[in-house]
């Protein structure tokens, strides 16, 4: 069974631009969560989607948004990029909200 896939794997943007990251969950998984990982803060929860509905949201500004499609694929968008948004963005999928989360390889975003 294929794992969680994330595209693109690497991205370089400049301040003020916006970016969209994509996540394809494991087949049959309906829950997708997004995390930001930085050396100083570790893994921080961004948001979680289940059946196209956002169930939980972390403490990030409104510049960070996401959505989930009917096939469970998810996208997250960051608008007006700041230098501090440089991080590894990880997507995790699970059968449901209380099930084990399996992580993708992440998208490494660099903001210049």
Residues that bind another protein (CB under 8 A): 4, 33, 35, 41-45, 48, 56, 58, 90, 92, 97-98, 100-106
- Taking the complex as a whole, the smallest distance from the CB of residue 43 to another protein amounts, in Å, to 4
Residue number, 13 or 88, with CB nearest to another protein: 88
Chain-centre distance of CA 46, in angstroms? Answer: 7
Residue number, 42 or 62, with CB nearest to another protein: 42
- Taking the complex as a whole, the smallest distance from the CB of residue 97 to another protein amounts, in Å, to 5
- Taking the complex as a whole, the smallest distance from the CB of residue 52 to another protein amounts, in Å, to 17
| Close Cβ partners of 67 (under 8 Å, ≥ 6 residues apart) | 49, 52, 74, 75
The DSSP 8-state label assigned to residue 15 in this structure reads T
């Amino acid at each position: 069974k294929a794992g969680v896939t994330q595209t693109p794997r690497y991205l370089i943007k400049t301040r003020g631009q916006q970016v969209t990251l994509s996540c394809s969950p494991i087949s049959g998984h309906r829950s997708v969560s997004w995390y930001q990982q930085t050396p100083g803060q570790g893994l921080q929860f961004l948001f979680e989607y289940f059946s196209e509905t956002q169930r939980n949201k972390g403490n990030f500004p409104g510049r960070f948004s996401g959505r989930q499609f009917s096939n469970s694929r998810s996208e997250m968008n960051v608008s007006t990029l700041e230098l501090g948004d440089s991080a590894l963005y990880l997507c995790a999928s699970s059968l449901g909200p209380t099930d084990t989360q399996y992580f993708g390889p992440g998208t490494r975003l660099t903001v210049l």
